[in-house]
Amino acid sequence: MSVITISVPDEALRALHLTPDQASETFRLAAAVKLYEMGRLSTGAAAELAGVRRSPCMTARRSSAKCETWIPTLHVPGERMTKASDADYLEIITGAIHVCADYRPRFGHGRKAGFTVAEFQNLYQADPFYSWFGLDNPLMYAAHRAAGGMTSVYRQIGIGCQWVFNRVLRDSLQIDEESANWSYTVPGSAGGRDRMLSLDARIPTTALPPGARGDTVRSWLAESAKRLELTKKAARGLQGAVFEVRQGYKSKDSKRQNADVANAANAYAHQYLPVVALLSTQIDSDVAERYRRARWLLLVGTTSGSTFDSTYLFTRDVVGYDLAGFFQRNAASLRATVDKVLRSLLSEI
């Protein structure tokens, strides 16, 4: 192993908010990322230079598997995200949305693949009552497909954003996949099976790297506990935060709300601060109030406010990644993807 010594101006270290020890790790990572992008190093050689190991391929929760890039995002305050990472995150979201184009209504039959328009007509024409009313009309099929497809679009946008949020935490905070995920077991009732429940992401303080970024997360966690009026004992015992990530929350579904109240209680039982991170501003005021009473920290999709009420200020100023900037940079691609899916959903009659 060769040892290379370089001189770094004090002004550069101050601008990067790095100590000499932190600078060594950061510069190694920067060199590894750049040489990998230039094609000068393989992933293995770049990983060795950066002092990290390559992450294994994850099993993607969509039709095609995807191997995640091992190189974490190098964040310097104010620096824009690399094009390579932009492309990775965009692929995750658009891949989730594209699933909606294949949506077919099931008409209450639990048929996994759904019905084509011809199959729908055969089904309803065989039912005297429905055929008397003309419900076998292809326009009825189109209405069902559009309505169900719209719901699917919202859902898949949310799922894609959950995956990206988790990835951002891992890349920006340099924590591994296992550390960034959290689940807990609920015992089955009356002899039933135990259930495994999970939230979308986790920041465990024990996995944070040393230095300014880790200190920022810990300070944010302590101040969040104060704002939620946790007891001093509970605040001191927090080992991190867990996140429920959603694109929005318009429904007043009591079953979902009760489940989330239980999630918050279990998070606190495991010494984690529960955080709802909404990507939009769409949440019913009554629902928001109930979550606050359950001592969820509620972040919404505003670009103003503070790191304690804005998802985008939290990701930018605490995590170190400008998520709002990512969406703004890629708005044209995201709009085109949604437009293509909507046209597909409305085209089949």
Beta-carbon contacts of 198 under 8 Å, excluding residues fewer than 6 positions away, are 181, 182, 183, 184
Which pLDDT score, from 0 to 100, does residue 139 have?
Answer: 93
β-pairing, 240-246 with 273-278?
parallel
Beta-carbon contacts of 52 under 8 Å, excluding residues fewer than 6 positions away, are 29, 70, 72, 174
Which pLDDT score, from 0 to 100, does residue 53 have?
Answer: 45
Q: Give how far the C-alpha of residue 105 lies from the chain's centroid of Cα atoms, to the nearest Å.
A: 27
| Secondary structure (3-state) at 110 | coil
Residue-wise pLDDT for 248-259, tens only, equals 987 777 787 888
To the nearest 10 degrees (0 to 180), the angle between helices 138-173 and 212-227 is: 120
The CATH number fitting domain 177-301, selected from 3.40.50, 2.40.50, 3.40.1350, 3.30.420 = 3.40.1350
Which pLDDT score, from 0 to 100, does residue 42 have?
Answer: 61
Counting as low any pLDDT under 50, the low residues of the chain are 53-83
For residue 310, CA distances in Å to 134, 169, 235, 278 come to: 50, 16, 21, 9
Cα 168 to Cα 326: distance, rounded to the nearest angstrom: 11
CA atoms within 13 A on the CB side of 316: 22
Report the chain's mean pLDDT, rounded to a whole number. 83
Query: Which tokens hold the place of 35?
Result: 């040489």
Select from 25, 75, 77 the least CA-distant residue to 52.
25
Which pLDDT score, from 0 to 100, does residue 96 have?
Answer: 92
Query: Which tokens hold the place of 338?
Result: 């949604």
Give the start-to-end residue ranges of the domains of the chain.
20-58, 79-165+322-349, 177-301
Exposure string over 166-188, b if 16+ CB within 10 A, otherwise e? bbbbbbbbbbeeebbbbebeeee
Which pLDDT score, from 0 to 100, does residue 64 have?
Answer: 35
pTM score, two decimals?
0.73
Residue 127 dihedral angles phi and psi, to the nearest 5° = -105, 110
Which pLDDT score, from 0 to 100, does residue 110 have?
Answer: 77
Which pLDDT score, from 0 to 100, does residue 59 have?
Answer: 32
Which pLDDT score, from 0 to 100, does residue 13 have?
Answer: 63
